[in-house]
Amino acid sequence: MKKLVVLTGAGMSAESGISTFRDAGGLWDKYPVEQVATPEGYAANPQLVTDFYNERRKQLLTVKPNRGHELLAEMEQFFNVTVITQNVDNLHERAGSSRVIHLHGELTKVTSSWQPNNPNYIKELKPEEYEVKIGDVAADGSQLRPFIVWFGEAVPMIETAIDYCEQADVFLIIGTSLNVYPAAGLLNYVPAHVPVYLIDPKQVPIASGRPVHVIQKGASEGMVELKRLLVE
């Protein structure tokens, strides 16, 4: 089967009711990114940051995958699909996608403050544990922190993501403004002969000027069109 590699961003989950970051009224308008998504912000006010992620985590219990997530999962009937997501929600998994690489971490997990990327300390929370408190500790005795890649931190999954991009037969981008690196640079690892599709209701500038088949629609409608183009 041909390999379909998909890079998704916040727009993928917009129709599920999760705010994007940089659209008007997006999350970074409401919460200063320096305060809630940097190691410095966490050091300055761990309670604020813990509350912010507790809220995001509890929102997962009220939202569900949209048709776009579902159609992407259905593409596994026709392709060997790898989803590389910048999203920290679990909607791709819940829609049935079987290989999901989370570049920016996962809301459903917590980890050690001292060694956030040590697999021994990464823990999946059950829904009844979604409210993390200051004083809850990891197995190494450090405060439990969200398993989220904050600005200024390394992106450990990027190497794995690059490997998949280099092997792609078809590449698809959905719902990302391509503002944040290294994720935004993944397209540069996709071989030149590989067709690239992009689904987004807004125009997203492609820095390299590489030709891209643009489907200027939301994720659900866009996936209907993509499916028509690729498999019908």
Cα gap 101→103, rounded to integer Å: 6
What is the four-CA torsion angle of 60, 104, 7, 187, rounded to 10 degrees?
Answer: 170
By annotation, the residues acting in catalysis are: 104
Stretch that binds ligand APR, among 11-19, 74-82, 117-125, 189-197 (CB under 6 A): 11-19
105 binds ligand APR (CB under 6 A): no
219 binds ligand APR (CB under 6 A): yes
Estimate the share of the chain in helix, then strand, then coil, as percent rounded to the nearest 5.
Answer: 35, 20, 45
Instruction: Quickly tell me which residue has 């078809």 as its tokens.
Output: 170
176 binds ligand APR (CB under 6 A): yes
89 binds ligand APR (CB under 6 A): no
15 binds ligand APR (CB under 6 A): yes
13 binds ligand APR (CB under 6 A): no
How far CA 100 is from CA of 93, 103, 214, 228, in Å, comes to 7, 9, 23, 23
Q: Residues 191 to 210: which contact ligand APR by CB under 6 A?
A: 200-202, 204
109 binds ligand APR (CB under 6 A): no
Give the CA count within 13 Å in the CB-facing half-sphere of 148. Answer: 22
Which of 3, 22, 67, 123 is the binder for ligand APR (CB under 6 A)? 22
Stretch that binds ligand APR, among 17-25, 111-119, 121-129, 137-145 (CB under 6 A): 17-25
Which of 3, 23, 225, 227 is the binder for ligand APR (CB under 6 A)? 23
Calculate helix-pair angle for 219-231, 67-74, nearest 10 degrees.
20
Which of 16, 82, 86, 111 is the binder for ligand APR (CB under 6 A)? 86
**DSSP readout, 70-102?**
HHHHHGGGTSEEEEEE---SSHHHHHT-S-EEE
Which of 3, 26, 131, 212 is the binder for ligand APR (CB under 6 A)? 26
Binding footprint of ligand APR on the chain (CB under 6 A): 9-11, 14-15, 20-23, 26, 86, 104, 175-177, 179-180, 200-202, 204, 218-219
